[in-house]
Amino acid sequence: MRYPHIDPVFFEIGPLQLRWYGLMYIIGFVCAYFLLTNLSKRESYDMDRIDIEDLLAYGVIGLIVGARLGYCLFYNFGFYFSHPLKCLAIWEGGMSFHGGLIGLVLGGWLFSRRKNKSLLMLADMGALAATPGLFFGRIGNFINAELYGRVTDVPWGMVFPGAGDLPRHPSQLYEAFFEGIVLFVVLFAMSRKVRTRGVLISTFLAGYGLMRFMLEFFREPDAQLGFIIGPFTMGQILSLLMVGAGVILLMKAIKVGQDFQR
């Protein structure tokens, strides 16, 4: 299959350019707002509309700063250490999910301290609200023809611009489906039945980490890093840490829930 060439700029007036990738971020934040608002109506979530808007503001800042710094530190440290001002050049590309997650956690922690809210409650809400952003973010990667997959002979392999003449896995679409849609369905179903604090965020961490780890086998490693340990990439190593954190948190959440029921 030939990659469907899509202009990454969907609207342009003079020097002003609006890109699909930026639009995907905006759509993800809008979806997050409606999901957070829906969750806040349930008795187990102590949040009102003003709280949701403030939380989203903290989340947006934490995500963007964390994703950019995470990319600079995890994926191209040598270059950005030599050119620190380039860390500010977001328009040149380079955002890390794992860095964005750390930024979200820090933003949520600051919000919880300011508003005196349970950090685990906020984390559970954020886990569900983040999944549409994962979906649309990967669609943005596909439109930009970046983060493509490894060479393959499957019938749906695509020839991406700038990646040679051989067909590759459209790994961005794999990730959009599993990390965005599948994870959303699982967490949404759990949110309607589970009331124990920490279960949603721990399931998100372990679920995303496991999916990302497996899907990285279809994704081309970052050119500047390649494989880190044996056949494993930086994304897989960071994802395994997520799985471990999710399992530990889930075990603690279940134990706390059992102690509470006693």
Which residue intervals of the chain are DSSP H helices? 20-40, 49-74, 77-82, 97-115, 119-143, 171-175, 183-191, 199-215, 234-261
Sole residue written with tokens 């509470």: 260
Picking from 209, 190, 186, 208, the residue whose alpha carbon sits closest to that of residue 199 is 190
More confident residue, 255 or 164: 164
CB neighbours of residue 150 within 10 Å? 15
Torsion sign across C-alpha atoms 96, 21, 243, 42: positive
Say if strands 16-19 and 9-13 run parallel, antiparallel, or are unpaired. Answer: antiparallel
Q: Which two tokens mark 29?
A: 């934040």
What does the pLDDT average to over 31-40?
91
Amino acid letter, residue 81: F
What does the pLDDT average to over 231-250?
92
Please check the confidence at residue 127 and state whether its pLDDT lies above 60.
yes
pLDDT of 18 reads 81
Please check the confidence at residue 261 and state whether its pLDDT lies above 50.
no
For residue 1, give the 3-state DSSP assignment: coil
User: Each residue of 206-216: pLDDT tens digit?
Assistant: 999 999 999 99
Amino acid letter, residue 16: L
Q: Which two tokens mark 46?
A: 């102590």
User: Each residue of 75-111: pLDDT tens digit?
Assistant: 888 888 888 888 877 766 678 888 888 999 999 999 9
Picking from 191, 201, 192, the residue whose alpha carbon sits closest to that of residue 248 is 201
- Return the percentage of the chain with pLDDT > 90, whole number: 52
pTM of the full predicted structure?
0.87
